[in-house]
Amino acid sequence: MEVAVGKASENSKTAIAWYRCAVVSAIVAGLFAIVVLTLIVRNYVPGETVNTQQEEEMEALKIEFQARPDDEQLLGRIRELDLKFRQERLRRLDFSRLGSYLLLGSVAVLLIGLKYAVAFKKKLPAPQFHPDRRQEQVREATWARWAVTGGFVMLIAAGLYLAGRPRIELPKPEMAAASYPSTEEIKKNWPYFRGPGGAGVSAYTNISDNWNGKTDQGILWKSKVRLEGFNSPIVWGDRVFLSGADPNEREVYCFDALSGELLWTGGVKHTPQKGDEPLEAEMLRDTSFAAPTLATDGRRVYAIFATGDIACFDFNGREIWSRNLGIPENAYGYASSLAMYRNLLLIQYDQAGAEDNKSKMIALHAFSGQTAWETKRPLPNSWTSPIVAGHQIITVGDPWVIAYNPANGTELWRAKCMGGEVAPSPIYAGGYVFAIEPYAKLVAIRPDGKGDVTKTHIDWVGEDYIPDICSPVSNGELIFLLTTEGMLTCYNVTEEKDANVPESTEEDKGKLLAPATKTIVWEKDLETYFRASPSIVGDRLYLMSEKGVMFIIKIGAEYQELAKCELGEKSYASPAFADGRIYIRGLENLYCIGTDSTKSP
Amino acid sequence: MAEDNKTINGSAINRRHFLRDGFWGACMVSLGAVAGLLGRKYKKKDTVWQIDPYTCVACGNCATYCVLEESAVKCVKVFAICGYCDFCSAYYEPGAVALDTAAENQLCPTGAIKREFIEDPYYEYTIDEKLCIGCGKCVKGCAVFGNGALFLQVRHDRCLNCNECSIAAACPSGAFKRVPADKPYLLKETVHT
Amino acid sequence: MVRPGYIINRMAVFLVLCGVALGAERFPPPEFVETNHQLPPINQITDVTPRSDIYEYIDVGVLLAALGLSSYLVLRKRSRRAIFILMVFSLLYFGFWRKGCICSIGAIQNITLSIFDPDYAIPITAAAFFLLPLVFTLFFGRTFCAAVCPLGAIQDIVLLRPVSVPKWLENMLRLFAYVYLGAAVLFAATGSAFVICRYDPFISFFRLSGSLNMLILGACFLVVGVFIGRPYCRFFCPYGVILRQFSRFSKRRVTITPDECIQCGLCEDSCPFGAIREPTAEWPVGYYEKSKKRLAYLIILVPVLAFLCGWMGFAVRPVMSRMHERVRLAERIYLEDTGKVQDVTDASTAFRATGQQTKELYAEASKIRDEFGLGGWLVGGFIGLVIGLKLIGLTVRRQRVDYEADRAGCLACGRCFEYCPQERLRLKNAKEIIGES
């Protein structure tokens, strides 16, 4: 730089002119850079490529528009905004490309200007005089040592801070809690329609057989349920869930099992789908808008309504997800209850006619509500609920009983043995899947087949006093059927040898035989009407009549009535059984029946 | 005295030189070792980032996390999988009021999908890549109700092939992976009969 | 690279496969009986010329040439101007043209991952970018930093008003680079993240786009860099840490003077990076004994420091391991399953959709945590050792009679050359010789 300085003294005027030139260009470039930078930042902050704020605004408008498709003003606004947002996006992209080049260029000019300016003003090196270099160097080293020590202390402090942050201890893999309940957990609760496996069999025997709703005797609590619904209560731990709906509202209720207090109410919104025919309230007279029973996995609770709206809530009432599957076309209203297999929520979505090709079996990921798989069903609308037996989903429709693999929805086997408007749900007991064709027959199918098992796996049929609504119940040895008109019948489950029929030879078994027709063990006319399905508690049958009278009957080779308990309110829903308690949904109230109020459920 | 000093210094310098040479050798050996280790593992294939369409959940991160202002990820369509539906769940909002090309019914935020009538009842949907931002909305729509003919892919004419892909770091399903550069796309295959 | 027609062939295979039933689609693809419409090709992928890797080999070539040229300019030509021009070229080529990726600093992670992950195939460019500068450093000093590294270049260009950083502060701040190196290696070895790339402050400038946070960070570095020479290189660069050590043993190195030092002291302030060492003075009386005792204590202290830092590294593993996506996911799933959080994330939803067992995920996460535990011990121990050795280095006295460039810290920028009267003499002589001939 000595050269430059030398020149400056020789040619100071030119040098000063150059210096000024450098400074001025640096200032101009700097100001320009600041302007461009401000513009870029302004352009950048409100939206990157994807402006979520704009998108949300647009989405909200679109949903609003779907609710009010005739609102011309709204439509105009949507179109205007759409155009605006898209133009803005392109403009922003163009600008940020141009702006970054401009900025880069101006910064380069700024730097060159400043470099020159600095070069003109360069100071000459001035060697310093060090009076006591010894002390200075020693001091420098000492300070540096302390600074490094300080750095070490800071590191340790940062480490301690990090180590002290809340940590999450993962469970040991071998004892990791599954994200779905174990079979034992399910058995202890009543998480689906008709309890574990949809079988209607309680794991407890300490159930009351003596109460009276009129005098409140034996009734632990009674709580009003705001909206109507024919679905049954489900129970998990100290929570009882059910749902209610009318044409405009859909609600999920959570009651405290101990006190009967309504803990929360979860509203489920209806999102109409394209092409949906709105439901007529009159059509749903027999099923209500909330016929399907809820399901829970002990972590969350799931509810589906006749409108095809399905929602998931956590146990504190927060909605986790909800979606609409499209309003099912169903002659009397959609009524299939939810079932679960591990983390999958199973929905038997039978609708319209068989030729419409609209029925399907749907499995949703319970955590997200996203579809795990979907399988078309060649069936018209039905009112049965699917059950999970071992690793099979059993479904009943007209005319097929179909079993699916819950993992991927592939069909395992099917049997053509149903007909009419099927409503009773299947059960699995004593090694058989039992399905009921209303008014026609009870069918016992061995579930170990593959493909079409109509001719190979139906072991026997029963043809007397076949119900049209109530599902059967069985303790593995005897199976009980209950018709709406109150006819209770008992069949033997096992294929006992009939003395009248000659013993089949090995050869016969290889042939395709017509299934044997079973005769009844006993029957009894209870002379009242039933809608709720029967249940088994220990060695007793619990039958809830439409009028609200619980028939308690001893299971045995012949009919023996033990008790009759009045609820004092009509009931269409199947009761739920927990430890020492029964939860019964009347038309308006939810009852908890038990012997000991201090006992925790 | 001065001479003594010099010899002492001299020997110190020699010692230092010796040590330095030793360390120099050690550094060389360690570099050689690393090179050898890498050489043993070196595979001729270079790799590039790509999305596995079967793992992708179309979360939308691709549109926002790419270091490029306009993401390198764009939607790709295999026409052989497409059902050419009139009501296309990738094109229309779930509750679309009418099956037309109006803004209120379209799902794509940038209007990058073109709908064209082919023959009754079939419509062809094509993606205008210049407009596509890789948000995956249509991918999700097609996967939930349709055949899944649409999926996201890293476009290698755009991708900078960063050492650490920012989208991969933000991918919730681990769908981003490095694939051999000579097969840079992971395309869906048709499964229909 | 895609062979021409590869995808078209693949398409043809697909179309043949169409006849083979592999599963059921919801809506069978149509047959266009009326119009005989032909299916278009898969999007526009077929039109796009695939990525060419020729650039990557060119990169290696340019790197090699730039390193060679830089070494020549620093050691033989001794011209700051030429070094500056090469530096601008490197900034433009490796930075703005090649978008700053791959760079030698980031290549540390590729090397580490390649050593620890048997499935990771390291690109040859990454290996070359890591090894070549180190080899050159062993022979010629940090000539890579001088004029090849684009990150160094961008900082060097903005340096206008150098302010000297006090020695003690410099020593303390430099510790961070070691911690950064340790963390980068740990995260790369466990396959968690490439933090050097993630927090590269200048890459968003090279790409002319990036997240706002990183742009601001980069801008801060540049503003600070106007006054403090190359702040990233000196206090943060993890590759610089390795180069420092290699440079200590280099065969040749930058000398301030081309001839004998005349102790004029003119060069003392010329270095904006504080890398010029003055001649050492004799110690004050009695200081030698004190120092000897201190050294003894420190030598005993080194293992203690290493152990302490190692333990610290082990203790922070629950937090550090969260850098790994699987650990984050496992913790999230655990929180969701135990009802401690109510909502779900994209990641947890995607995990559940795979149907993988939670316990498998937990096992995987625990294994990664254990790796972080072991890695924490090693990295922490390394940092403790560095601190201990640094303290020892600040205690022993090195004999220095002339003004010298610090072997480790000198970035070979060449600024000091023109301050030396001996150098000026040499240039004058050279000019005369040229003039005569």
The whole-angstrom separation of Cα A271 and Cα C65 is 66
Range of weakest confidence among A271-285, B119-133, C15-29: C15-29
Above 90 in pLDDT, residue C237? yes
In a domain, B154, yes or no: yes
pLDDT at C433: 79
- Please compute the mean of the pLDDT values over residues C133-152 and round it to a whole number: 95
pLDDT at A505: 47
- Out of C42, C51, C246, the one facing B77 most closely (by C-beta) is C42
Range of weakest confidence among A267-276, A292-301, A555-564, B55-64: A267-276
Alpha-helix residue ranges (DSSP H) falling in C265-403: 287-315, 317-320, 325-337, 346-354, 358-393
What is the 3-state secondary structure of A284-338? HCCCCCCCCCCEECCCEEEEECCCCEEEEEECCCCEEEEEECCCCCCCCCCCCCC
Q: Where are the domains of chain A?
A: 2-120, 136-167, 185-594
Q: Quick one: which of C223, C88, C233 has its CA closest to C215?
A: C223
For chain A, the average pLDDT equals 86
- Out of B118, B157, B181, the one facing C37 most closely (by C-beta) is B118
Does residue B145 sit in the same domain as residue B115? yes
For chain A, percent of residues with pLDDT exceeding 90 = 47
Does residue B28 sit in the same domain as residue B53? no
- Please compute the mean of the pLDDT values over residues A167-173 and round it to a whole number: 79
Contact B93, A62 (CB under 8 A): yes
What residues of chain B lie within 8 A of the CB of C197, using their CB? 162-164
Residue of A62, A63, A78, A101 to mutate for B, most B C-beta atoms under 10 A? A62
Higher pLDDT, A378 or C40: A378
pLDDT at B113: 93
In a domain, B193, yes or no: no
pLDDT tens-digit readout, A186-203? 999 999 999 999 999 999
Where residue A68 falls among pLDDT bands split at 50, 70, 90?
A: confident
pLDDT at C75: 94
End-to-end CA distance of chain A: 92
Give B 141-180 residues with CB within 8 A of chain C: 145-147, 153, 155-157, 159-164, 166, 169, 172-174, 178
Whether residues B118 and C210 touch (CB distance < 8 A) is answered with: no
What is the total count of domains within chain B?
Answer: 2
Where residue A484 falls among pLDDT bands split at 50, 70, 90?
A: very high
pLDDT at C11: 37
- Out of B64, B94, B103, the one facing A78 most closely (by C-beta) is B103
pLDDT at B42: 66
Contact A209, A552 (CB under 8 A): yes
pLDDT at A466: 92
pLDDT at A273: 66
Does residue B70 sit in the same domain as residue B141? yes
For chain B, the average pLDDT equals 84
B118 has a chain C CB within 8 A of its CB:
yes
What's the domain range around B144?
47-180
Distances (CA, A) of C317 to A453, C193, C334, C373: 58, 15, 18, 6
Residue of B6, B18, B117, B163 to mutate for C, most C C-beta atoms under 10 A? B163
Give A 490-519 residues with CB within 8 A of chain C: none
- Please compute the mean of the pLDDT values over residues A81-92 and round it to a whole number: 86
Q: How far is CA A527 from the centre of its chain?
A: 41
Does residue B76 sit in the same domain as residue B166? yes
- Residue A558, classified by CB atoms within 10 Å of its CB into exposed (0-12), middle (13-18) or buried (19+), is exposed
Range of weakest confidence among A47-61, A220-234, A472-486, C338-352: A47-61
Q: Is the bond preceding B121 in cis, omega lying within 30 degrees of 0?
A: yes
The whole-angstrom separation of Cα C280 and Cα B27 is 28
pLDDT at C297: 94
pLDDT at A513: 54
- Please compute the mean of the pLDDT values over residues B33-50 and round it to a whole number: 81
For the entire predicted model, the pTM comes to 0.72
**ipTM, 2 decimals?**
0.87
- Please compute the mean of the pLDDT values over residues C36-61 and round it to a whole number: 74
In a domain, B68, yes or no: yes
- Please compute the mean of the pLDDT values over residues B90-110 and round it to a whole number: 85
- Out of A162, A178, A370, the one facing C358 most closely (by C-beta) is A178
What residues of chain C lie within 8 A of the CB of B85, using their CB? 27
Q: At B51, phi and psi to the nearest 5?
A: -100, 130
* CA gyration radius, chain B: 29
Where residue C183 falls among pLDDT bands split at 50, 70, 90?
A: very high
Does residue B167 sit in the same domain as residue B135? yes
In a domain, B141, yes or no: yes
Q: Quick one: which of C70, C40, C47 has its CA closest to C139?
A: C70
State how far residue B59 is from chain A, nearest Cα, in angstroms. 13
Residue of A51, A66, A271 to mutate for B, most B C-beta atoms under 10 A? A66
Query: How many CB atoms are located within 10 Å of the residue C381 CB?
Result: 22
Whether residues C265 and A127 touch (CB distance < 8 A) is answered with: yes
Residue of C119, C346, C349, C352 to mutate for B, most B C-beta atoms under 10 A? C346
pLDDT at A298: 87
State how far residue B96 is from chain C, nearest Cα, in angstroms. 20
Above 60 in pLDDT, residue B174? yes
Whether residues B157 and C17 touch (CB distance < 8 A) is answered with: no
For chain B, percent of residues with pLDDT exceeding 90 = 28
pLDDT at B141: 87
Give me C157's structure tokens. 């260009």
pLDDT at C190: 94
In a domain, B148, yes or no: yes
Higher pLDDT, C383 or A319: C383
Q: What CATH number has the domain spanning A185-594?
A: 2.130.10.10
Does residue B9 sit in the same domain as residue B51? no
Where residue C225 falls among pLDDT bands split at 50, 70, 90?
A: very high
Above 80 in pLDDT, residue A127? no
Residue of B27, B86, B126, B158 to mutate for C, most C C-beta atoms under 10 A? B27
Above 70 in pLDDT, residue B2? no
Whether residues A138 and C283 touch (CB distance < 8 A) is answered with: yes
Whether residues A168 and C366 touch (CB distance < 8 A) is answered with: no
Q: Which residue of A has its CA nearest to B96?
A: A274
- Out of B41, B181, B182, the one facing C114 most closely (by C-beta) is B41
CB pairs under 8 A between A and C: 176
- Partners of chain B (3+ Cβ pairs below 8 A): A, C
Higher pLDDT, C25 or C83: C83
Does residue B3 sit in the same domain as residue B93? no
End-to-end CA distance of chain C: 55
The helix (run of H) or strand (run of E) holding residue A139 is: helix A133-163
What residues of chain C lie within 8 A of the CB of B182, using their CB? 1-3
For chain C, the average pLDDT equals 87
Higher pLDDT, C380 or A88: C380
What residues of chain B lie within 8 A of the CB of A49, using their CB? 63-64, 69-71, 133
In a domain, B192, yes or no: no
Above 80 in pLDDT, residue B12? no
In a domain, B189, yes or no: no
Q: Quick one: which of B108, B140, B109 has its CA closest to B125?
A: B108
- Residue C361, classified by CB atoms within 10 Å of its CB into exposed (0-12), middle (13-18) or buried (19+), is buried
Amino acid at B107: L
pLDDT at A495: 62
pLDDT at A385: 95
What residues of chain B lie within 8 A of the CB of C12, using their CB? none
In a domain, B142, yes or no: yes
Whether residues A125 and C330 touch (CB distance < 8 A) is answered with: no
